[in-house]
A = this chain, B = another copy of it.
Amino acid sequence: MTPVRRRNVGILVFDNVEVLDFAGPFEVFSRTRLVPGVESRRSDDSAPFHVFTVAPGPGQITATGGLRVVPDHDFANAPHVDLLVVPGGFGTRLLLANETVLEWIRQQSVTTEVMTSVCTGSLLLARAGLLANRRATTHWSSLDALAALDASITVERELRVVDDGIVTSAGVSAGIDMALAVVESLHGRQVADETAYYIEYRRTAPSG
Which residues of A are at the interface with B, using a C-beta cutoff of 8 A?
A: 18-20, 23-24, 26-27, 30-31, 38, 41-42, 51-53, 60, 64-72, 90, 139-141, 160, 170-174, 176, 198-202, 204
Task: Write the chain B residue with the least CB distance to A176.
Answer: B173
A139 neighbours in B (Cβ, 8 Å)? 200
A53 neighbours in B (Cβ, 8 Å)? 67-68
Contact for A26 among B19, B30, B90, B176, CB less than 8 A: B19
A140 neighbours in B (Cβ, 8 Å)? 200
A141 neighbours in B (Cβ, 8 Å)? 38
A64 neighbours in B (Cβ, 8 Å)? 30-31
Let me know if A69 and B66 touch, CB within 8 A: no
A174 neighbours in B (Cβ, 8 Å)? 200
- Pull 21 A–B residue pairs with CB atoms less than 8 Å apart, ordered by A: A20-B24, A20-B199, A23-B24, A23-B27, A26-B65, A26-B67, A30-B66, A42-B90, A51-B65, A53-B68, A66-B72, A68-B69, A69-B69, A140-B200, A160-B200, A171-B200, A172-B200, A172-B201, A173-B199, A173-B201, A174-B200
Among A19, A65, A199: residue with most chain B CB under 10 A: A65
CA separation between A68 and B11, bound complex, in Å? Answer: 13
CA separation between A204 and B202, bound complex, in Å? Answer: 9
